[in-house]
Structure 1
Amino acid sequence: MDTRPRRVRGGTLSWGWAAGASVSDLDDLRTWVPALVDGRLLTGKTQEQRLRTLPAGFPGISYGLGILDTNGRLGHNGEIPGYESIAAQLPADNASLVVLVTSDIDHDGKNLSSLVGNAVTSVVTPGHLWPAPVPTGPE
Structure 2
Amino acid sequence: MLNSAGWIGHNGSLPGYKTVSVYPPAKDTTLFVFINTDIDGQTDLTSALMAPITTLISPDNVYG
Give the structure 2 partner of residue 98 of structure 1. 32
Point out the structure with max Rg over C-alpha.
1
- Structure with the bigger RCO (C-alpha within 8 Å, sep 6+) is 2
- In 2 relative to 1, CA 126–78 (structure 1 residues): closer, same or farther, beyond 3 Å? same
Looking at structure 2, the residues matched to 76 and 90 of structure 1 have their Cα atoms a distance apart, in angstroms, of 12
Q: SS at 2:46's partner residue?
A: helix
Q: Provide the TM-score with structure 2 as the length reference.
A: 0.80
Counterpart amino acid of residue 59 in structure 2 = P
Task: Give matches, 1:33-48, under 5 Å.
Answer: none
Give the structure 1 partner of residue 23 of structure 2. 89
- Which structure has greater strand proportion? 2
Does the 8 Å CA contact 2:6/2:63 hold for their aligned counterparts? Answer: no
Give the superposition deviation at 1:83: 0.5
- Of 112, 130, 138 in structure 1, the residue corresponding to residue 45 of structure 2 is 112
User: Is the counterpart of residue 70 in structure 1 residue 4 in structure 2?
Assistant: yes
- In 2 relative to 1, CA 128–103 (structure 1 residues): closer, same or farther, beyond 3 Å? same
Give the superposition deviation at 1:126: 2.1
Corresponding residue pairs, total: 63
Q: Provide the TM-score with structure 1 as the length reference.
A: 0.41
Task: Give matches, 1:9-24, under 5 Å.
Answer: none
- Of 50, 55, 58 in structure 2, the residue corresponding to residue 125 of structure 1 is 58
After superposition, what is the alpha-carbon deviation per residue over 1:20-51, rounded to whole angstroms, capped at 9, x for unaligned?
xxxxxxxxxxxxxxxxxxxxxxxxxxxxxxxx
